[in-house]
Amino acid sequence: MKNLVFICLLFLSFSCKNFETKSSLVQNSGEALGTTYSIQYEGNQDYHDDLKKVFDLVNQSMSTYLPSSVISKINSGDSTVIVDAHFETVFLLSKKIWMETNGVFDPTVGPLVNAYGFGPKGKLKGIDSIEVDSIKQFVGMEKVLLTKSKSIKKQDSRTFIDFNAIAKGYTIDLLGELLDSNDIQNYLIELGGELLAKGINTNSGKDWIVGIDDPTQTEERTLIKKIKLKDVAMATSGNYRKTRIDPDTGAHYVHTINPKTGWPKISNVLSVSVLAETCAEADAYATAFMAMELEESKSFLSSNENVEAYIIYVDENNVMQEWFTEGFQKLIVE
């Protein structure tokens, strides 16, 4: 789950709800990619038409809900499709992060997600190790190749690519590039809980202040932390609502599937918030850290200076604990 944050699949809808000028900021909000967005920026121009073009480009490239999209054609077995520049960028970045995380971040894990009932098609169904092993045969980024002619070659025709865990962040990066190209120096972009901040909030004259959801909340939304953002992207991933409980052992199986084992992750991590230069990277790393062991995530972060994170987890006594990288902790607003 992502949102501050929900993981939302790519849908086809787009609408602009409002265009408002508040003091020195313009607010442009609406619905796109199956979720909501809100963009605040300095200026006096409505970029609705340009925003729509960005969302349309992403849908036409990466929406698994659109039969005519590039990704849908590839998933249906059309090996003649030439991918567009956006698909290529996301594919190559996904493969890079797949390698960095030793296969934990994997856009081909969709068939396993669906098999456990966490996908859009239904409830949890019975699944055993035989079925898991069968599905794993066609899961893995090593089974797909981007050729020199810009087509996708699959070792197994059943391999299914889904950029759900990175496309939303990538879309935010494109929106940022749109504002940059129009010389907008100060803005905050939010899409389904993922964020990209540049410059300052010109209403306050200070850095942008954003909130992170408390993973233990029930019905009423509460924030566990507020942080200041400037020239950085943030994505948050959490498992605290989508879980399955083993009736015999009481183990919590989260909706994050480990593509290396083929099984849902038994995890004490409740949520991870990641800061990175691009929102696509933050989006992907947040997903990966939910599938990693806590110590594995800490080790990864200690050797990657360009990624900061805030991890909320429960200890052996089921008490909620927090862990920060030094860079993330400096941004917390007390």
Q: Note the pLDDT tens digit of each residue in 115-146.
A: 776 655 555 556 778 888 888 999 999 999 99
Q: What is the C-alpha to C-alpha distance for residues 158 and 145, in angstroms, rounded to an integer? A: 14
Please check if 282 is assigned to a binding site: no
Phi and psi at 217, nearest 5°, equal: -65, 155
How is residue 91 written in tokens?
């594919």
**For the chain, domain boundaries:** 1-74+163-334
Mean pLDDT of the chain: 86
Query: Which has the higher per-residue pLDDT, 259 or 264?
Result: 259
Q: Note the pLDDT tens digit of each residue in 288-333.
A: 999 899 999 999 999 999 999 999 998 888 899 999 999 999 999 9
Query: Options 3.40.50.970, 3.10.520.10, 3.10.180.10, 1.20.1250.20; which CATH number does 1-74+163-334 get?
Result: 3.10.520.10
State if pTM tops 0.75.
Answer: yes
Q: Note the pLDDT tens digit of each residue in 72-100.
A: 999 999 999 999 999 999 999 999 999 99
- Percent pLDDT > 90 in the chain is 65
Q: What is the C-alpha to C-alpha distance for residues 79 and 70, in angstroms, rounded to an integer? A: 11
CB-hemisphere CA count at 13 Å for 48? 13
Query: Which has the higher per-residue pLDDT, 230 or 123?
Result: 230
Task: Quickly state the pLDDT bin for 215 (edges 50, 70, 90).
Answer: confident
User: Is the pLDDT reported for residue 14 higher than 50?
Assistant: no
Please check if 133 is assigned to a binding site: no
Please check if 213 is assigned to a binding site: no
At 131 the pLDDT is 85
